Structure 1
Amino acid sequence: MNKLFTLTFVMSFIVSMAQTYHFPEESSRHEGTWLQWPHHYQHGVTYLKRVEQTWIDMTKALQTGEKVHIIAYNNEEKNRIVSLLEQNKIPLKNVDFRIYPTDDVWVRDNGPIFVKDSKGNVVIEDWGFNGWGEKFESENCDQIPQRIGKDLGMKVIDLNEEMVNEGGSVETDGNGVLMACKSSVISQKKGAIRNQGITQQEAEEMFETYYGVSKVIWLDGVTGLDVTDMHIDGFMKFVNHNTMITMNEDDLLDLGLSEKDVNTLYTASNTDGKEYKKVYLPATKNKVKTAYGKQLDEKGSYINYYVANTVVLVPNYGDPNDQIANTIIQKQYPGRKVIGIDVRNLYENGGMVHCVTQQQPAGN
C-alpha cells in the first residue's frame, strides 16, 4: 500500500509540474472586458478631462455584447463614473465596478492574463509588472491581478518572482505561436530591464508553459524608443493562425524597426511551417494632432485595435486614413462591427485601444 501511495503521489506531482496553460486568442468568446478608468490622482484633472471620452466610447460599444468590468480608483470615482455613463445614456446592465487604486490606465500591461488550464478552467496569471523597466510608479497596478482573483474567487498563478511580462509585449496566434520583441522582454539595457539576467531560453520556456505555445518568434525591437521599448501590439497582430495584420515596409521602418526585423516579421511562419498571409494597414496620412490642438511628432497606428464579442474597437485619429483602415479591418471580422474610437488625446500619452483593454475569456 505504501509503495502504491508513493507511486501515486509521485505521478500526480509529475503531472502537476507538467501542467501547461492556454492563452485563448483574443477573438474567441469573452466573458467580458476589463478597463482601468482614468483618474486625476496621478496626472491631474486636465489629463482626466482630455482622455476620459475614450473610456466612455469604449464602454458604450462594449456593453452591447459582453460585460464591462470597470476598475475605479475609489468609491468617489465610481459614483462619478456612474453619473457620467448615465449622462451619456449608456445602459449599466452589463457594467460592473471594482474599487482598486491604480497608478495608470494600461490594463493590458499590468492587468490579469486570463488563461485556461488543461481542464478548460479559466485562471489568472499574475506576471510581474515593474512600470516598463521602472520608468513609472507601478506598485498599485502590480497588485491588480491578485485583487481581481480574490474578488472573483478565481485561482491566481503568482509569477511575480518568476518573470515580468506586459500583455502588450506579446502576440499569439491561438495555435502555438507567440511573437515578441526582445527589447521589451529580455533587454538588459539600462532603463529597460524587466528581468535581470534572464536568458532568451528561460523566457521562451515561461511562454511555452504559461501561454501554451510551442514556437516563439523574436524581433529585436528598439530599446528606449518609447516607454514600452517597442511593444509588438503597435505594429503587428494575428487575425488567426494563418493571417497577420501589419504595415508596409516603409511604415515599419518609420516606426523604428530594422530591416532585419521587417524581414523576420514578413517571413514568419506558423506551426505548420506556412508563412502567414499578410494584410497591410496604412499608418495615418498625417502626423497626429490631439483633439485639443497639440501637434504630435508621430503618425498613428491602427494595428492597436481590440476584438470583442460583437465589435472591433479601432483607434481613430480624425485622419483621412481612418476610414480606409476601418474598412480593411472590417473585412477580417465580418461577424463583428468595427467602431472607430477617437484616441488622439490618449495617443499623446503613449497608447491606443488595445493598450487599455484586457479580455476575460468565457468559461466552458
Structure 2
Amino acid sequence: MSHNTTRSTPARRSVLLLAAVVLLGTACANAQTRMPHENVRHEGTWLQWPHSYTYGTTYRNRIESTWIEMTRSLVGGEKVHIVAYNAREQDRIERLLMDAGVSLDKVTFVVQPTDDVWVRDNGPIFVVGPDQALAVENWGFNGWGQKEPYQLSAEVPAVVASELRMPTIDLRDYVVEGGAVETDGRGTFLATRSSILNPNRNPDVTEDQMDAALSANLGVSNFIWLDGVKNADITDMHVDGFARFATSDTIVTMSQGDLANWGLSAPDIQRLYSATDVNSVPYKLVQLPLTSKNVVTTYGKDLGYQGSYVNFYVGNDVVLMPTYNDANDAVAKAILQQLFPDRTVVGIDVRNLYANGGMIHCVTQQQPEAASP
C-alpha cells in the first residue's frame, strides 16, 4: 500500500519519534539517532542498477556505463551493493561487470524491483544510535510529489534492512528524499523548504513538526532552511545539486552568480553564504564552477543548461565527480582534489544521466561501518 494514502496525526508522529528512540536502545534522555557524515568510513555503497522495465531499453543503455564506471572506481576501497530488478537482471549485470574487467569480489546483490535508479532519494538512510549500532531509516518516498512512478522504489529501504538484518525505523509519515538533506555530521542540517515542506510531499506537516522529526532521527539541532524554488526541476530544488557539506567545517557550493543562475533567490544565497555551525562558527566555502557550456549528451541532445560539479560522492578511497566533456571538468577536479587530498578524485561521465535529472550523488547511498565515530 502506498505510504501517502493516509496522513498521521501529530500524536501518532510523536509516538513514531519515541518508538525510533526506543528501537535503538537509547539509554539516556538526550541521546539521539544520528546520521554519520558521508566521508566517514563506509562498509559499502548502494546502487540501484538501470533497467528497461519502466522507461525502456534505450533509457537503460544510455546511462548504464555510468554504473559500470562507478562500480569500477568504488570496489577498490569498499563493497558495492547493487539492487537488481530481478534474478535475470542480476545475471546480466554480473556479465556486464565481468566483461568490463570489474572484479565481483566486493560486489553483492539484492533482488528487488525498482521504478528507477535514484537510490539517494528512495533508498535506505543508515543511522547510528548511542551504542553505535546501525539501523535503517525508512522515510516516505512519493516520486518527488507523485511526478514519477515510485511504489516499487519505495519498498527498497525495508528490503535492504531485512537483507542486512538491521532494525528499521518506519518514518513513512514524513516524505523526505535523501538528496534533499545535507548534514555536517555535527548537528547542522541544510535543505530547501521547496523539496521537503511542500504540499506535494508533506501537506499536513508544519516546519516545527518536521524539525522535531529530523532532530530525533538524524541527530541535528541547527537548521539552515533555504526557501528553494518549487517546480524548478523534478526534485523541487534538492540541495545536493548546489551545496554540500564536504567536511564538517566546509560547504562546497558555487559562486553567487552561478547560484543565481541555478535559480536561487538573493535571500537564499545570503543565508547559504552566511551559514554557521552548531557553535555559530561560519563554514569555510569552496566554490566549484558550472560547466563552461550547456551540457550535450553523448547522443547529441543539447540540454540547454549547464552542469553542476557539486553533486559528487565521497567514497573510502575515491571521490566520484560528475563530468560533462567540458573544459571545466579539469578545473572542478583540481579543486576537489585539493579538498580531499587523501582520496583520488575520479571523473564519471554523467551527460546522459543528467538529461534525466541527476548526477553522481543522486544515484549513490553510503552504508557506514557499524562503529562510525
Give the TM-score of the pair, scaled to structure 2: 0.91
For residues 126 and 153 of structure 2, what CA distance do their matches in structure 1 show?
Answer: 16
**CA distance in 2 between partners of 1:24 and 1:136 (Å):** 29
The superposition leaves residues 145-175 of structure 1 with CA deviations (integer Å, 9 ceiling, x where unpaired) of 00011111110011112x1110000101111
Q: 1:157 aligns with which of 146, 157, 169?
A: 169
Aligned residue-pair number:
348
What amino acid does structure 2 have at the position aligned with 1:42? T
2:315 pairs with 1:315? no
Matching of residue 103 in structure 1 with residue 119 in structure 2: no
Structure 1: how far apart are the matches of 2:80 and 2:248? 27
Partner of 1:65: 77
For each residue in 1:118-166, what CA deviation from the matched residue of structure 2 results, as whole angstroms up to 9, or x when unmatched? 11001100001011011111111111000011111110011112x1110
Cα distance change of structure 1 residues 270 and 18 upon mapping to structure 2, 3 Å threshold:
closer
For the aligned residues, what is the CA RMSD? 1.3
* Consecutive unaligned residues in structure 1, runs of 5 or more: 1-11
What secondary structure is seen at the aligned counterpart in 2 of 1:180? strand
* Distance of 1:273 and 1:240 partners within structure 2: 16
Cα separation, partners in 2 of 1:356 and 1:14, compared to 1, 3 Å: closer
Aligned to 1:5: none
Could you tell me how far apart the structure 2 residues matched to 1:107 and 1:351 are? 11
Aligned to 1:6: none
Q: Which amino acid aligns with 2:269?
A: V
2:41 maps to: 29
Aligned-partner residue type, residue 326 of structure 2: D
Q: Pick from 347, 356, 360: which aligns with 2:363? A: 356
1:128-139 matches, cutoff 5 A: 128-139=140-151
In the other structure, the counterpart of 2:14 is: none
Match of 1:178 in 2: 189
Residue identity (%): 49
Deviation at 1:241, TM superposition (A): 2.3
Deviation at 1:17, TM superposition (A): 7.8
Aligned-partner residue type, residue 316 of structure 1: T
Question: Deviation at 1:116?
Answer: 0.2
- Offset from partner CA, 1:11-62 (integer Å, 9 cap, x none): x999588652111000000000000000000110111110000000000000
> What's the TM-score once normalised by structure 1's chain length?
0.94
Three-state SS of the structure 1 residue aligned to 2:43 is: strand
Q: More displaced, 144-153 or 348-357?
A: 144-153
Cα distance in structure 2, aligned partners of 1:49 and 1:129: 26
Whole-Å separation in 2 of the counterparts to 1:109 and 1:184 = 11
Give the letter aligned to residue 159 of structure 2: R
Runs of 4+ in 1 over 3 A off after TM superposition: 12-19
Give the Cα–Cα distance (whole angstroms) in 2 for the partners of residues 111 and 18 of structure 1.
Answer: 28
Return the letter of the residue paired with 1:305. Answer: F
Q: Is the 8 A contact 2:26 2:129 kept in 1?
A: no
Q: Deviations for 1:221-262, whole angstroms, at most 9, x for unmatched residues? A: 000110000000000011222211100011100111000100
Question: Which residue number corresponds to residue 194 of structure 1?
Answer: 201
Question: What secondary structure, in the 3-state scheme, does the structure 1 residue paired with 2:303 have?
Answer: strand
Structure-2 change in CA distance of 1:14 and 1:74 (3 Å): closer
The alpha carbon displacement at 1:219 in A equals 0.1
Matches within 5 A, 1:1-364: 20-161=32-173, 163-188=174-199, 193-364=200-371
- Which moves more between the two structures, 200-209 or 342-351? 200-209
Would the aligned equivalents of 2:240 and 2:310 in 1 still touch at CA under 8 Å?
A: yes
Amino acid at match of 2:195: S
Task: Give ranges in structure 2 of 5+ residues lacking alignment.
Answer: 1-21
Classify 1:195/1:57 alpha carbon distance in 2 versus 1 (closer, same or farther; 3 Å).
Answer: same
